[in-house]
């Protein structure tokens, strides 16, 4: 067997373009909107991007194509973590380039930004690209996490582009990659290289979102895949009626994934990092909040439930961040030597007790021993605690178990608490893109080709009105600088695209907050099931609950 | 939101019956096959089942229904672990009973066999049952693991049945539950209760399979769901190109699930417990086998891969079973006290070193410390090692890492090995049943009603020819005693249905064995994607690769 039946069937799918791009390349013209400015720190951003700042937003519409008919050679890279639909961005880009001029050429630089630096590439042809239509993964050219941000790197990129006659680059990535795309665009413009740079908004985390980006691609498919699995787990919990499932989902800096999954599956508990931070919740408070649900359900005879925990949750807990900082300080540099030579955990524990503040020691003492040990024994090459390794789903179930013990002793709880643990991440980043992501991504790529054809640079390929059918989508471009502000990163001011956190005043969180008390004590599970590609439209074509609520 | 769009759409699905059951109840007649005998130990089984042994196999066909027209009151239970399609068995049973005589009544006893003992039940009606059509889970009446096997229990069951006028029971379960169904049927016949008992073959593990049962229900959907996830992980591995994923899949006593997932996804490695046992492989040999693949791929620059590990694998490793037996012996009863008072792990380790044989100590010394500690510190109430808690996916990745260290030192390996771990179990037991399982289960239930109507007892609802379209399926019944033999269980001879292990001479394993060397070093991943319910027939209606190979 070479490919699955589904993969063969998905090759036949024709992604839907926005209505305005459906009439053929010769009937796409540009309508200019007003000049733009950055969301904040306008003077600083303007000074950093003299050649690309303040350009007009543009929208494509039906009309005579007025672009210059010249041969285009375009390069494309995939940057960062996988997201379903990346292949379709490249397919859309390829198809539009070939439809514009069969002599146009598309280079794929391999393994992410490093492919551009190392001049490692393939040239796309029909036969190769057809194997990747409507498929998941980034295996078409691979991806990587090398950051493209220094002038030295830019010079190499320009040199490699010139070697192949590449006059435009499309960078498919998250907030950092698009930030770097804007900086590269400015560099190319400032040095009169003639090389245009266009970004495409990718990330399953959903945190590349703003006034101009309704959603990043991949979020729809990944959250549907996680929700399928969570729904299956919920149904299992509700059938066996004896386990509490703690399900950690990917998403370190924002809890969009957790929130979307909660909206789709209505679990008993879903923690939201942004709320934990805003309310300055302690570990004990969070555990108590979960234990309230466990106890209320146990009182009804229901010793089962499902809790969704965002991967990055502990970093949002203020007292925990302080503890981590103290541990990093305590073991910085050569101080670690004195610790490392201590023979037993008991000796090490005494050392820790001595070194931490009273407040942090109280937090540390709360933790289960395996997590205490992990914090001290598994450190990165710089000696820092590896927060991402912390199994927060196990941490919270252990804290809840402690809390319930106290309730049992006090006579306020008499149930059974058997937790099981899951982590959902790699399970969803490379799923076959949903019809929505297949359409959206293909449109982003097609649209990127049009932006190149019309000579734009430093723009993000923008497709909006996404809660409506594809016919009504709006295709165009937005200067990336419009989304930027200045943030402090590693001790320096940097122009960056602002990361979108879950807004506690936004409609998705508010809907969740209005319903969660009921979900916590009732069994209101919803079972989304597997992503469908061929069925009725209400099953196959709807995008996320998050977007529906934001646009309602 | 109350139900998902997919659930609403699945309510509209009409499960396909075998052709011979499609003409309406009045046109179903019985064709008798020959008398049967048990697969082994015929004299003993016959003596244990004097009233139900040796009956004829029967098949239904189109013809005048000659059964007696009397009102039926039937009870049904779900027994053991969840499997997709259980709801449809009940729906098929209900529909056939109501089509036969609208006055027929179906009781659902709640929470598994205990519902029968505690007389905890619901009476099904259209409105209630319609909410569960073509859905996953066992939440329609719940399930449980109480074993129904003693005369005292049988007497209570008969009493409760008589109270409601129940004249037949349908038991939906695995090999143990169907064994017990046969014993109950014999009891009911011997005591002239007038109560018939029919079994239905359920288990995602795929180990309830024999000459008469082509596959147990749920296996198709569960393995498709796991394969979806494994395929997604494979695509992620092949995109990121930096992780080895160790994926443990459910299945303790047989490796059918692992094998089917391997046939669907073509991973680099899949361990098969039955082969490990047959070849008497040691932990070190298994680790070396995996490390061969890691090293061969690393030599090509591919520091990534996917390995499938069956949940029960360590129990198949002879030296490991010996070690477990020794540990259980070492800590039996009051001997554990001397161990428990030892203050440090070092002291405990010395105690262990003293107590184990040289051979077992060598195996123990190989294990990573967290697993060593788990074996001694987390024991069940009888003081036994909890083998099912052993994280075998982490055990093998740790052993592989050790093996690779030695290769690195010897200069035969210079790659990077970054393992990640997954466990797939609860993710698939309650998925929406595939079209195959929806059809098969509905047919099993419908067929069970026909067996009851025609007065059979001690029969298994049998639907066969399953690798063909449903039109060609063959519906009928088989005396459960035919599948039985005598096995030694807990020191007693017991009549049981023989558990089906993976046959090393069978077509599915042979296909795997012929291809795995190539899969180990190439990247031959196949990405099945999510289960589809509405698309082209080759995507939606095909059942497992295992069955296709067995029937080829």
Catalytic pick from A95, A176, A205, A207?
A: A205
- Contact list, B431 vs chain A (CB under 8 Å): 228, 232, 529-530
Q: Is the pLDDT of residue B434 over 90?
A: yes
Residues 6+ apart with CB under 8 A from B341: none
Nearest by CB to A236, from B135, B137, B528: name it. B137
Q: Which residue of B has its CA nearest to A530?
A: B530
Q: Contacts of residue B239 in chain A, CB cutoff 8 Å?
A: 82, 137-139, 142-143, 430
Give the confidence band of B454 by pLDDT, cuts at 50, 70, 90. Answer: very high
Q: Could you tell me if A397 lies within 8 Å of chain B, comparing CB atoms?
A: no
Q: Which of B135, B250, B426 to mutate to test the interface with A (most CBs of A within 10 A)?
A: B426
What is the pLDDT at residue A383? 75
* Interchain CB contact of B377 with A (< 8 Å): no
B contacts of A143 (beta carbons < 8 Å): 239-240
Instruction: Render pLDDT for A248-288 as a digit per residue (tens, 0 to 9).
Output: 999 888 999 999 999 999 999 999 999 999 999 999 999 99
Cα–Cα nearest to B192, from B162, B229, B228 = B162
Residue the block writes with tokens 């099993």:
B444
Q: Which residues of B touch A539 (CB under 8 A)?
A: 5-6, 9, 534
The pLDDT of residue B375: 87
Nearest to A58 by CA among A40, A26, A36: A36
| Chain A nearest C-alpha distance from B144 (Å) | 7
pLDDT of residue A205: 95
**Is residue B278 over pLDDT 90?**
yes
Contact between A125 and A105 (Cβ < 8 Å) = no
Q: CA A389, CA A380: separation in Å to the nearest integer? A: 10
User: Mind telling me how many Å the CA of B106 is from chain A's nearest CA?
Assistant: 20
Give residue A7's pLDDT.
Answer: 98
Among A525, A261, A536, smallest CA distance to B1 is for: A525
Q: Taking a contact as any Cβ pair under 8 Å apart, which residues of chain A between 262 and 291 contact chain B?
A: 264, 266
Which residue is catalytic, options B95, B175, B176, B205? B205
The SS3 call for residue A160 is helix
> How close is the nearest chain B Cα to the Cα of A4, in Å?
5
Chain B, 96 to 125: residues with Cβ < 8 Å from chain A are 111
Partner-chain contact A535 B534, CB within 8 Å: yes
Q: Which residue of B has its CA nearest to A238?
A: B139
Regarding an ipTM greater than 0.95, the answer is yes
pLDDT digits (tens, 9 = 90+) for B313-371: 999 999 999 999 999 898 887 888 888 888 888 889 999 999 999 999 999 999 998 88
Write down the pLDDT at residue B234. Answer: 98
With beta carbons under 8 A apart, name residues in chain B contacting A134.
Answer: none
Interface test with B, best of A87, A141, A144, A235 (most B CBs within 10 A): A235
3-state SS string for B136-184 = CCCCCCCCECCCCCCHHHHHHHHHHHHHHCCCEEEEEECHHHHHHHHHH
Q: Half-sphere exposure of A116 toward its Cβ, with a 13 Å CA cutoff?
A: 32
pLDDT beneath 50, residues of chain A = none
Q: What is the per-residue pLDDT for B138?
A: 98
Nearest CB to A4 within list B5, B529, B533: B529
Reported as a pLDDT band with limits 50, 70 and 90, residue B15 is: very high
Give the span between the Cα atoms of A494 and A491, in whole angstroms. Answer: 9
* A236 touching chain B per CB within 8 A: yes
pLDDT at B457 over 80: yes
Dihedral in degrees, nearest 10, Cα atoms A223, A225, A228, A230: -60
pLDDT at A369: 86
> What residues are paired with B486 via a beta bridge?
B495
Between chain A and chain B, the number of residue pairs with CB atoms below 8 A apart is 196
Q: Are B92 and B446 in contact (CB under 8 A)?
A: yes
Contacts of B529 in chain A (CB under 8 A): 4, 6-7, 10, 431-432
Looking at the DSSP bridge assignments, the partners of residue B75 are B107, B169
DSSP collapsed to 3 states, A453-491: HCCCCCEEEEEECCCCCHHHCEEEEEEHHHHEEEEEECC
- Residue from the list A233, A240, A532 with its beta carbon closest to the beta carbon of B534: A532
Strands (E), B202-296: 244-249, 269-270
- Beta-ladder partners of B484: B497
Residues whose CB falls within 8 Å of the CB of residue B189, separated by 6 or more in sequence, listed in order? B51, B52, B457, B458
Q: Per-residue pLDDT for B183 more than 80?
A: yes
- Which residue is associated with the tokens 């042809």? A125
Cα B263 from Cα B285, distance rounded (Å): 23
For tokens 């016959």, the residue is B46
Q: Which residue of A has its CA nearest to B424?
A: A422
Calpha distance B464→B6 (Å, rounded) = 29
Candidates A231, A235, A426; nearest CB to B139: A235
- CA angle B406–B409–B414, rounded 5-degree value: 95
Q: Check if B394 contacts A (Cβ < 8 Å).
A: no
Residues of chain B positioned with their CB less than 8 A from the CB of A266: 1
Question: Which tops the pLDDT comparison, B378 or A202?
Answer: A202
Rg, C-alpha atoms of chain B: 25
Q: What is the mean pLDDT of residues B258-287?
A: 98
> In chain B, which residues have their Cβ closer than 8 Å to the Cβ of A231?
4
CB B198 within 8 A of CB B451: yes
State whether A530 and B431 contact (CB < 8 Å).
Answer: yes
CA distance A501 to chain B (A): 25
Do the beta carbons of residue B32 and residue B457 sit within 8 Å?
no
Contact of A18 with chain B, judged by CB distance below 8 Å, is answered with no
pLDDT of residue B69: 85
Identify the bridge partners of residue B173 per DSSP, sorted by sequence position. B201
Q: Which of B519, B442, B483 is nearest to B178 (CA)?
A: B483
Q: Is A205 a catalytic residue?
A: yes
**Nearest residue on chain A to B138, alpha-carbon basis:** A239
CB atoms within 10 A of CB A142: 22
- Distance (Å) from the alpha carbon of A239 to chain B's nearest alpha carbon: 4
Say which range, B53-67, B213-227, B385-399, B451-465, has the weakest mean pLDDT. B385-399
DSSP state of B67: S
Torsion angle defined by CA atoms of residues B115, B117, B118 and B119, in that order, rounded to the nearest 10 degrees: 70
Helical packing angle, B283-299 and B392-410, nearest 10°: 60
Shortest Cα distance, chain A CAs vs residue B53, angstroms: 34
Query: Does residue A348 sit at the B interface (CB-CB below 8 Å)?
Result: no
- A541 close to B (CB below 8 A): no
């Amino acid at each position: 067997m070479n490919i699955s039946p589904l993969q063969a069937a998905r090759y036949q799918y024709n992604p839907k373009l926005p209505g305005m791009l459906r009439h053929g390349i010769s009937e796409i013209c540009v309508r200019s909107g007003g000049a733009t400015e950055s969301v904040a720190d306008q003077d600083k951003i303007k000074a950093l991007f003299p050649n690309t700042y303040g350009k007009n937003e543009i929208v494509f519409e039906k009309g005579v194509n007025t672009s210059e008919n010249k041969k285009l050679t375009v390069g494309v890279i995939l940057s960062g973590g996988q997201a379903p639909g990346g292949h379709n961005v490249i397919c859309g880009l390829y198809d539009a380039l070939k439809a514009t001029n069969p002599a146009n050429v598309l280079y794929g630089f391999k393994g992410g930004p490093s492919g551009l630096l190392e001049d490692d590439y393939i040239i796309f042809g029909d036969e190769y690209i057809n194997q990747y239509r409507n498929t998941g993964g980034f295996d078409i050219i691979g991806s990587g996490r090398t950051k493209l941000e220094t002038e030295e790197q830019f010079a190499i990129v320009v040199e490699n582009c010139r070697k192949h006659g590449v006059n435009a680059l499309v960078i498919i990535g998250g907030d950092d990659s698009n930030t770097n795309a804007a900086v590269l665009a400015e560099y190319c413009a400032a040095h009169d290289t003639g090389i245009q740079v266009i970004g495409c908004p990718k990330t399953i985390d959903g945190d590349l979102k703003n006034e101009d980006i309704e959603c990043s691609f991949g979020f729809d498919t990944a959250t549907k895949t996680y929700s399928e699995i969570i729904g299956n787990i919920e149904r299992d919990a509700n059938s066996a009626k004896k386990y509490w499932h703690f399900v950690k989902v990917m998403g370190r800096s924002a809890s969009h994934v957790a929130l979307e999954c909660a909206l789709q599956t209505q679990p008993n508990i879903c923690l939201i990092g942004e709320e934990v931070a805003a309310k300055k919740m302690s570990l004990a408070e969070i555990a108590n909040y979960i234990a309230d649900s466990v106890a209320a359900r146990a009182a009804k005879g229901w010793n089962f439930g499902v809790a969704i925990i965002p991967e990055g949750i502990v970093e949002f807990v203020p007292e925990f961040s302080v503890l981590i900082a103290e541990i990093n300080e305590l073991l910085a540099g050569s101080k670690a030597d004195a610790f490392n030579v201590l023979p037993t955990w008991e000796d090490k524990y005494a050392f820790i007790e001595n070194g931490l503040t009273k407040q942090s020691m109280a937090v540390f003492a709360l933790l289960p021993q395996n997590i205490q040990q992990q914090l001290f024994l598994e450190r990165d090459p710089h000696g820092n605690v590896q927060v991402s390794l912390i199994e927060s789903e196990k941490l919270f179930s252990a804290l809840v178990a402690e809390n319930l013990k106290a309730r049992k002793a006090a006579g306020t709880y008499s149930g059974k608490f058997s937790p099981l643990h899951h982590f959902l991440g790699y399970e969803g980043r490379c799923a076959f893109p949903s019809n929505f992501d297949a359409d959206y991504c293909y449109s982003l790529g097609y649209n990127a080709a049009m932006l190149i054809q019309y000579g734009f640079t430093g723009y993000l390929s923008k497709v909006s009105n996404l809660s409506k059918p594809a016919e009504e989508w709006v295709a165009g471009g937005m200067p990336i600088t419009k989304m930027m502000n200045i943030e402090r990163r590693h001790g320096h001011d940097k122009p960056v695209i602002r990361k979108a956190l879950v807004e506690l005043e936004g409609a998705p969180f508010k809907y969740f907050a209005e319903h969660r008390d009921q979900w916590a004590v009732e069994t209101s599970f919803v079972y989304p099931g597997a992503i469908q590609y061929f069925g009725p439209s209400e099953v196959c074509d709807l995008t996320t609950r998050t977007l529906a609520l934001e646009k309602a």
